[in-house]
Amino acid sequence: NAGVTQTPKFQVLKTGQSMTLQCAQDMNHEYMSWYRQDPGMGLRLIHYSVGAGITDQGEVPNGYNVSRSTTEDFPLRLLSAAPSQTSVYFCASSYSATQTNRVRANVLTFGAGSRLTVL
């Protein structure tokens, strides 16, 4: 089982260029999400999806687009890269876990990350 696979692992862009970060999961998870991680800021949610054809914005969506045509894939597009988008990007998929009879929590499985530098 590969889990969550992200490509590329590293990328350098010039300001104004566009690119797509790929994310694929093979666990048949319903939910998928993109986070960015910056020093001192923790992980912040960019966009998320609750199923094929359904996406919504997270905390920091500006400058990014997503789509989800299949359960397995959730690409993140940078429309016009800016230096402020230099970051490490993590894709995650999730399922609901149960604890006794309570309403479920979501357990995220993360990819290994994509390190993006925008010059």
Site residues (vs another protein, CB under 8 A): 4, 31-33, 35, 40-45, 48, 50, 58, 90, 92-94, 96-97, 99, 102-113
Of residues 11 and 17, the one with the C-beta less far from another protein: 11
SS (H, E, C) 31-88: EEEEEEEECCCEEEEEEEEEECCEEEECCCCCCEEECCCCCCECCEEECCCCHHHCEE
In the bound state with another protein, the residue whose beta carbon lies nearer, of 31 and 78, is 31
Residue with tokens 């993140």: 76
Q: In whole angstroms, how close is the CB of 89 to another protein at the nearest point?
A: 10
Nearest approach in angstroms of CB 107 to another protein is: 6
- The residue type of 13 is L
Minimum distance of another protein from residue 60's CB (angstroms): 12
Q: Is the dihedral of CA 52, 37, 87, 44 positive or negative?
A: positive
- Closer to another protein by CB, 14 or 103: give it: 103
